[in-house]
Structure 1
Amino acid sequence: MNNDLEMRHLTDHTLVVTGASSGIGAAAARRFRQLGATVAVVGRSPGRTAAVAAEIGADPHLVDFSRLDDVRRLADELLARYPRIDVLANNAGGLFFSRKTTPDGHEMTFQVNYLAPFLLTNLLLDRLAEAPQGARVINTVSAFYRKGRLDLDDLDRTRGRYSTMQAYYSAKLATVIFTLELSRRMHGSNVVASAFHPGIVASDIYRDKAIIRILAASPLGKIMQSTPEQGAEPLLYLATTPDPATVDGAFFHRSSRAELENAQAGDPDLAARLYQRSAELAGLLSASRE
């Protein structure tokens, strides 16, 4: 991984980091501020989001990804506050250990990990495209996307027996597919898109299950996990690498660019149809950006 991040300052750049109240997002927000960037600290927890923002001298922005109206409110807030957005880091996510339905009627894992970030990205896309030095959309995913499978007629997983992990795998697969499709759609513009797997990182992702949260925080659990700072390294690299074209449409496994290992991830027809279906589910007026 690039060890010269200090050499490329981000003065005059604005970076929006979701999931920034803890874990990878908070670690990345701190480093981006050290590099001179204006950082929008976006989080779910009022107290922790405010604490991280106060620590680094940034503005806190709250959002509940289980409510698409709140995502729209956040987008309006960000557009009103920041006349320039150079990087959108879609880092927020969650692992839910029972089937839950959002107020919008979607399966919780699908909406929080995929549909809400998809909506936020599209609502900020025009502002990103105006960034004078080009803009980057960076999606935090998981290597478990390899085990995912998407059925466009059942994205909310209402058919058959519900599986917590399959819901998570498939949401991450959808994010990988979205990343590649966004790269294709924005080809020739100022916006590039990439995704990365940070490794197994000590984070708040297990907040929905007390026993796993306790185990993850145990001495043995910590040995088996990377620190948030280590997990944030690929995000820092993708946000600061001098030539964004070199990472456009790329998937990184920690520090290395990696080939896709799921047939659906590389299916351009599925990607186009997923984008269209996602736009419909998110209530976007137009899914077309050719």
Structure 2
Amino acid sequence: MDTTSRSPVALVTGASSGVGLALTSRLLAERWSVVTLTRSPLPQHDPALAAARAEGRLRAHHADLADLRGLARALEGIAAAEPRIDLLVNNAGVSLDAPRAAASGRDVHFDVNVLAPYVIARALAPNVAKGEHRTILNVSSNALLQVKELDLDELMRPTRFTKLFGSYAASKLALSLWTHEMAALLPGGVEMRSVCPGANDTPMTRGAGMPGWLRVLVPILFRDPKHGAARVLDAARGGLPRGAFLHRGRPAAIPHLHRAREVHDLVASLAG
């Protein structure tokens, strides 16, 4: 008997590790079907993932979010294979130790953290509108609260660089700004919010993109990614404002909110 047709369907990007993997595991445990979009493969020796894969409840797709052409091809396949998506979680992101150009010539922080989630949300919004939950969540960061000046040209093609509080923080601010603007434009009762998952002990937070003084504190102060996954799922509950940025489970003010339309229109134009 086909049981997957009655399961709610979530699409999770960046599901191969960290919060994305924890979120995928939790959704599967709650009997969701999960569609993943990742650059790296999912863990191969996880019994729960293997069982869900065998049941048809875990369906993997692959794309490098820094390659927008490849991403578009992957999204065409997902849109055709998954006519109904209840929950879309744009979780994938990067925090690097230096600027790095994507295929477009723009910095990877912009293309992966800002532009790719927009491309994904726009492409799959019709599928989400057919679901029961009809929710899109963009995983952001409280680092955006530290951004004093938002220079979009500098974000796309940086001439200076600061770990975590530079391009990464600005990219998450841009993400939450266009989320705020786009939320009012979505069809079919689709809701969209951005959410900070909190401080989680993940490969990214242990990576070279973190300032050294903070990286040494990760094993001590940062939490298991399951906590971040719980915060993300909590952001999907009803009654929360559309377009809100959720920090510690509550709507928080987004800096530079008056520039939300500007950021949205820029991202929309680059997405084509």
Give TM-score scaled by structure 1 length. 0.81
* 1:45 alignment partner, one of 36, 40, 47: 40
C-alpha distance after superposition, 1:163-202 (max 9, x if no partner): 343111110001111211121222x731001111111111
Q: 1:210 to 1:151 in 2, by over 3 A?
A: closer
The 5 A counterparts of 1:250-269 are 250-254=244-248, 256-262=249-255, 264=256, 266-267=257-258
Q: Is the 8 A contact 2:20 2:229 kept in 1?
A: yes
Q: 1:224 to 1:30 in 2, by over 3 A?
A: same
**Residue 69 of structure 2 aligns with which residue?**
69
Distance 1:152 1:96 in 2: 18
Task: Give the drift of 1:259.
Answer: 2.3
Distance 1:82 1:208 in 2: 34
**Residue 205 of structure 1 aligns with which residue?**
204
| Corresponding residue SS for 2:43 | helix
* 1:232 alignment partner, one of 229, 234, 246: 229
* 2:268 alignment partner, one of 231, 256, 279: 279
Q: 1:97 to 1:276 in 2, by over 3 A?
A: same
Aligned length: 260
Q: 1:49 to 1:43 in 2, by over 3 A?
A: farther
What is the letter of the counterpart of residue 253 of structure 1? H
| Corresponding residue SS for 2:80 | helix
What is the letter of the counterpart of residue 76 of structure 2? D
**Residue 13 of structure 2 aligns with which residue?**
18
Distance 1:62 1:212 in 2: 30
| Corresponding residue SS for 1:48 | coil
Distance 1:49 1:163 in 2: 35
Distance 2:134 2:209 in 1: 38
Q: Is the 8 A contact 1:16 1:87 kept in 2?
A: yes
Please say which of residues 85-94 and 37-46 is displaced more in the overlay.
37-46
* Structure 2 unaligned blocks of 5 or more: none
| Corresponding residue SS for 1:41 | strand
**Residue 56 of structure 1 aligns with which residue?**
52
Please say which of residues 227-236 and 142-151 is displaced more in the overlay.
142-151
Q: Is the 8 A contact 1:50 1:60 kept in 2?
A: no
* Structure 1 unaligned blocks of 5 or more: 1-9, 285-290
| Corresponding residue SS for 2:156 | coil
What is the letter of the counterpart of residue 260 of structure 2? A
**Residue 188 of structure 2 aligns with which residue?**
189
Q: 1:47 to 1:27 in 2, by over 3 A?
A: closer
C-alpha distance after superposition, 1:209-229 (max 9, x if no partner): 29979x95x7x6322111010
RMSD over aligned Cα, in angstroms? 2.6
| Corresponding residue SS for 2:262 | helix
Distance 1:278 1:49 in 2: 35
Distance 2:41 2:230 in 1: 26
